[in-house]
Amino acid sequence: MPPKKKVAVAAPSTMKELKDTLWKAADKLRGSMDASQYKDVILGLVFLKYVSDAFTERREQIHAELAADGMDENQIAQLIDDEDEYRAGGVFWVPGKARWEFLADHAMGIQETPGVEGRTVGQLVDSAMNDLMAANESLRGTLPATFNKDGVDQRRLGELVNLLGDTRFTGQGATKARDLLGEVYEYFLEKFARAEGKRGGEFYTPAGVVRVLVEVLEPFGGRVYDPCCGSGGMFVQTEKFIEHHGGNATDAAVYGQELNQRTWQMAKMNLAIHGVTGNLGDRWEDTFAQDKHPDLLADYVLANPPFNIKDWTRKEDDKRWRYGVPPSGNANYAWIQHIISKLAERGSAGIVMANGSMSSNSGGEGEIRAQLVEADLVSCMIALPTQLFRSTGIPVCVWFLAKDKGVGPKGSIDRQGQVLFIDARNLGYMVDRAERALSDEDIAKIAGTVHAWRGTESAAGALYEDEPGFCYSAELAEIKEADYALTPGRYVGAAPIEDDGEPIEEKIARLTGELYAQFDESDRLQAVVREQLGRVNG
């Protein structure tokens, strides 16, 4: 066999450099591939690296445990390939030729090995994906096997395999390495979403928006559900929230559903990379046509449904339409009512929706909204800044729903018959000309306001007060008087104008003088222009 070719790569010194290096290397593969195939190839390769790292770490643990029991290497060799020992540790079984070491050793393909002559690296990766799915029932139909198709540059694919294998993600063990690989996967998801524009919005919700839902709802454990889960971002952020607060991610049971096959596959890989065990159904499916979790009652629902769907599976006699039949031309209130039908006795939900959902009266939506308000299901309404979604210019809001707003485990203040309105449209900062993001301080301000209003433990004794221009706690009677419109700007009013100390009479006189001076200057410039035009025409 000819010596293996290696690509010399300097180990990036920071996580940002690592991400940028991998993205630039991955971007070389684009070639003639369409965006979806390119995404499958890159994310699939990162996933394969993850499962191999996890397998290797578990293998080393088993070896150490057997050695500690006094076994020699021959005895260890007879026991170390017990597949159940890997699955019991929450690790996928990885067959020999699906392991990263094998792929790295043949990153330029196999030329002369008997029985596999002339196999490209793409063929080897495809075989690895198929072997992995055959060995693990939960991965059946999940992984891409598109690495040897036309348009995949095999030389550059081999270089990317080398780069993933050679770059030192960490010197602190495989567990930390997997955490960083998870960050790389999320980074790639975001980059693909930006690159694909509107199509990217179908599988990716900006991290700041997801964090608003998670930080407000505080899903420390229980059943967490997303009926349109995209690539699984809601679940990943939930897991991060739990770990950040010193909890155990296994305290949350994850349930999801997704309509698009490729997106469903991405979600399965994303959850596996982050160590989240989730039930996303046995396959992709339309939530309205076939609910994959018909008996589920969730403690938390986090969702970003597709906005304003006009063509959706609608049955007028659906038992989910308890508060009114949604119009055939818009699924917004179908999503809201489906989510309500999934809430447990004390369940709560956060739903990203188009702003129109807060005030629309077409197709009976106004009547449905009135029923939701009168049933005291609406807990909080938040208007978010524009341009958070690169994929759409539609302004968005978040509906927070709660089955129980009384004193209890989720709050020490009785908020029955009240709704909190937050106008956060002035928050955020511009990442570039096309996209805005929410800062940690912005998210903390929003979540802190809700927690103070509700009297949660995380409010740490902070007292809620209405803040003109930002937040207002309204009684149901006020909302009814406003014809059940739920637009925060209608309730929070205008922010107070800062007093600059100048007496009002003097300010009016000053501004009037400045205005007259501008009028005079305008007249002068107009005369100059007329004179110049006269000379040209003369």
**DSSP structure class, residue 488:** T
Position 47, amino acid: F
pLDDT at 160: 87
Q: Where are the domains of the chain?
A: 15-195, 203-491, 502-531
CATH fold for the domain made of 203-491: Rossmann fold (3.40.50)
* Residue 440, CA distances (Å) to 14, 159, 448 in order: 21, 37, 12
Q: Strand, helix or coil at 278?
A: strand
Pairing of strands 252-256, 222-226: parallel
pLDDT at 373: 98
Each residue of 336-360: b (16+ CB within 10 Å) or e?
bbbbbbbbbeebbbbbbbbbbbbbb
206: left (phi over 0), alpha (psi -120 to 50) or beta: beta
pTM: 0.81
CATH fold for the domain made of 15-195: Ferritin (1.20.1260)
- Which positions ≥6 away from 94 have C-beta within 8 Å? 51, 52, 55, 132, 135
Say how far apart CA 260 and CA 268 lie, in whole Å.
Answer: 12
**DSSP structure class, residue 364:** G
User: Do residues 377 and 401 make contact, with C-beta atoms less than 8 angstroms apart?
Assistant: yes
User: Do residues 298 and 223 make contact, with C-beta atoms less than 8 angstroms apart?
Assistant: yes
Say how far apart CA 201 and CA 299 lie, in whole Å.
Answer: 26
Q: Strand, helix or coil at 156?
A: helix
Containing H/E element for 225? strand 222-226
Tens-level pLDDT at each residue, the chain (538 residues):
444 444 444 444 467 777 777 787 777 777 767 666 788 888 888 889 888 988 988 999 999 999 999 999 999 999 999 999 998 888 899 999 999 999 999 888 776 655 555 689 999 999 999 999 999 988 888 898 889 988 888 888 998 888 888 765 544 455 565 667 777 888 888 888 777 655 545 567 888 999 999 999 999 999 999 999 998 999 999 999 998 999 888 899 999 999 999 889 989 988 888 878 899 999 999 999 999 999 999 999 999 999 899 989 999 999 999 999 999 999 999 999 999 999 999 999 999 999 999 999 999 999 999 999 999 999 999 999 999 987 677 889 999 999 999 999 999 999 999 999 999 999 999 988 888 999 999 999 999 999 999 999 999 999 999 999 999 999 999 999 999 999 999 999 887 766 666 778 877 888 888 888 888 888 888 888 888 877 777 6
What is the Cβ-side half-sphere exposure of residue 461, based on CA atoms within 13 angstroms? Answer: 0
CA 264 to chain centre: 14
Q: Strand, helix or coil at 526?
A: helix
Say how far apart CA 340 and CA 349 lie, in whole Å.
Answer: 8
pLDDT at 203: 62
Q: Which two tokens stand for residue 434?
A: 């096309």
Say how far apart CA 364 and CA 437 lie, in whole Å.
Answer: 34
User: Do residues 132 and 143 make contact, with C-beta atoms less than 8 angstroms apart?
Assistant: yes
Q: What is the pLDDT of residues 235-292, one digit of tens each?
A: 999 999 998 999 888 899 999 999 999 889 989 988 888 878 899 999 999 999 999 9
pLDDT at 348: 98
User: Do residues 163 and 7 make contact, with C-beta atoms less than 8 angstroms apart?
Assistant: yes
CA 384 to chain centre: 16
| Axis crossing angle, helix 261-273 with helix 233-244, rounded to the nearest 10 | 20
List residues bridging with 419 in a β-sheet: 474
65: left (phi over 0), alpha (psi -120 to 50) or beta: alpha
